[in-house]
């Protein structure tokens, strides 16, 4: 039997017999001739069937085709400039229905996002969504290449924990035999453990879980976390250096491979950051934002979503950068394990990364000195006993270290200028969404 040819490989062939496989996109069933647009994972092409004598069986099959039906086609490839779709068509010599689609397609182009998520596997068949996940594949691959080339060790940290990781809030509880376990909200403790274990540099791209009951465009109960952690840093600036280079590498790879397709399908230009990402202390950033007219309503010193958007606009206008690091957050709004400044214990050696006005990542140098760490736990009013297993990591020698965690879907969302996480997650999970 002829080997299958992918549709995007047809153009490079000579006229002649081919076998292609995919699903029915559209059918034009005319009196003298039938046309089918067939789509596969690489593209779409036109099939043609003249309704001539001896071809009745093929014609009948085509007349009954529903959108989505999976077909194996053998036929004759013919280059033809008049065919709008790729300048070629395949004249069917045999057609095999591999699996029939229900003719009532449950979603349309204008269906709501919630309806489309109910039928996500159909929604994913579009060129647009296919391209989205190919771009994500290139992005993760480029990031792992970056780390691999620099001798990072890949870790697969456990998702079951005996106690809370960073806080007791928003924690999922699992029935674990006769006891309970909790789902990791991040690999934080375990990627730090890799530093005490002498791994030097470690990374992980894997799931994390937050029992967050909110319904914003930026939250999910389960998300893919991109994490890296490195030893022997001088400060959080070393972590920012690494993350900045990582993002440049990832965006460069996506632009090279899919930049033109993304321009055509999403009307989005992938901009390779040319300038260094500006690094602005958070308190200065708040002043900048206020001077541009924004009023903070929250009581603490953190940014709010509109503040992030405003500092994003500022970074673009003043520094020509879609990215901006907000640094040196007050200790009051950072977790206990962020290292504090030697000369001002009210500030931490930490940062958030904002891309196109949305926070995508938090990083910091971690406190590796057991006395300071214990003091910071007390300072936060946390229970040192529950964290004792974690404190052990610092009782037998721990190097200075730091790292970041970054939301993969947030990256994809911002790269492709998408309005929310639901659009860019393979299968979104939220408080009231567990299926499909």
Residue numbers belonging to the annotated binding site for ATP: 359, 407-410
Nearest partner of 336 among 368, 376, 367, judged by Cα: 376
Stretch of 147-155, 241-249, 268-276, 306-314 contacting a copy of itself, by CB under 8 A: 147-155
The CA-CA-CA angle for residues 132, 134, 140, to 5°, reads 105
Residue 328 · residue 307 · CB < 8 Å: no
Query: Would you tell me the crossing angle of helices 236-266 and 408-415 to the nearest 10 degrees?
Result: 50
Bridge partners of 161?
182
CB of 258 to a copy of itself, least distance (A): 12
Binding residues for a copy of itself restricted to 166-185, rule: CB under 8 A? 172-177, 181, 183
CB closer to a copy of itself, 50 vs 198: 198
Restricted to residues 247-276, the positions that interact with a copy of itself (CB under 8 A) are none
Taking a C-beta distance cutoff of 8 angstroms, is the pair 390, 189 a contact? yes
Looking at beta carbons only, is 63 or 332 nearer to a copy of itself? 63
Task: Name which of residues 83 to 112 contact a copy of itself (CB under 8 A).
Answer: 98-102, 105
Minimum Å distance from CB 311 to a copy of itself?
30
Applying CB under 8 A, which part among 196-204, 261-269, 278-286, 294-302 lies near a copy of itself?
A: 196-204
161 scored as a contact of a copy of itself (CB under 8 A): yes
* Span near a copy of itself by CB under 8 A; candidates 123-131, 266-274, 302-310, 339-347: 123-131
* Smallest gap from residue 165 Cβ to a copy of itself (A): 12
Q: What is the 3-state secondary structure (H, E, C) of 129-177?
A: HHHHHHHHHHHHHHHHHHHHHCCCEECCCCCEECCCCCCCCCCCEEEEC
Closest by CA position to 387, among listed 360, 415, 367, 364: 367
- For residue 33, the SS3 value is strand
Shortest Å, Cβ 428 to a copy of itself: 8
Residue 324 backbone phi and psi in degrees, to 5: -150, 130
Q: Are 89 and 46 in contact (CB under 8 A)?
A: yes
- x/- binding map, residues 214-253, to a copy of itself, per CB under 8 A? -------xx-x------xx---------------------
Examine residue 24 and tell whether it contacts a copy of itself (CB under 8 A): yes
Nearest distance in Å: CB 120, a copy of itself: 7
* DSSP letters spanning 215-256: --TT--SEEEEEEEEEES-SSHHHHHHHHHHHHHHHHHHHHH
Residue placing its CB nearer to a copy of itself in the complex, 34 or 196 = 196
- Binders of a copy of itself among 32-91, rule CB under 8 A? 39-42, 66, 68-70
């Amino acid at each position: 039997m002829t080997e299958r040819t992918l549709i995007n490989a047809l153009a490079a062939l000579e006229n002649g017999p081919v076998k292609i496989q995919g699903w029915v996109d559209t059918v034009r069933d005319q009196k003298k001739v039938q046309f089918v647009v067939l789509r596969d994972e690489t593209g779409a092409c036109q099939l043609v069937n003249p309704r001539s004598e001896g071809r009745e069986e093929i014609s009948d099959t085509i007349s009954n085709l529903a959108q989505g039906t999976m077909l194996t086609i053998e036929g004759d490839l013919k280059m033809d400039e008049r065919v709008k779709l790729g300048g070629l068509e395949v004249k069917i010599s045999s057609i095999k229905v591999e699996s029939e689609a229900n003719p009532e397609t449950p979603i349309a182009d204008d269906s709501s996002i919630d309806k489309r998520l109910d039928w996500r596997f159909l929604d994913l068949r579009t060129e647009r969504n296919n391209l989205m996940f190919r771009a994500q594949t290139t992005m993760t691959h480029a990031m792992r290449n970056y780390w691999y080339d620099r001798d990072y060790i890949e870790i697969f940290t456990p998702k079951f924990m005996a106690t809370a990781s960073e806080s007791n809030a928003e924690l999922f509880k699992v029935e674990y035999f006769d006891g309970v376990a909790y789902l990791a909200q991040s690999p934080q403790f375990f990627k730090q453990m890799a530093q005490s274990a002498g791994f030097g540099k470690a990374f992980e791209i894997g799931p994390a879980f937050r029992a967050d009951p909110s319904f914003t465009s930026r939250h999910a109960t389960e998300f893919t976390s991109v994490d890296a952690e490195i030893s022997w840093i001088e400060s959080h600036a070393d972590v920012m250096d690494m993350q900045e280079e990582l993002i440049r590498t990832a965006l460069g790879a996506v632009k090279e491979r899919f930049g033109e397709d993304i321009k055509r399908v999403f009307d989005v230009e992938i901009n390779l950051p040319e300038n260094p990402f500006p690094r602005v202390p958070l308190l200065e950033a708040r002043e900048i934002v206020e001077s541009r007219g924004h009023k903070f309503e929250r009581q603490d010193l953190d940014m709010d979503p509109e503040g992030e958007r405003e500092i994003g606009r500022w970074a673009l206008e003043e520094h020509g950068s879609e990215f901006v690091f907000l640094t040196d957050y007050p200790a009051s709004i950072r977790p206990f394990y962020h290292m504090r400044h030697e000369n001002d214990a009210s500030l931490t050696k930490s940062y958030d990364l904002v891309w196109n006005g949305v926070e995508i990542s938090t990083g910091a140098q971690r406190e590796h000195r057991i006395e300071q760490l214990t003091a910071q736990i007390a300072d936060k009013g946390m229970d040192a006993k529950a964290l004792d297993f974690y404190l052990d990591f610092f009782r037998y020698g721990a190097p200075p270290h730091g790292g970041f965690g970054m939301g993969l879907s947030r990256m994809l969302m911002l790269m492709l200028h998408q309005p929310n996480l639901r659009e860019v997650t393979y299968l979104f999970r939220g408080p009231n969404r567990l299926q499909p």
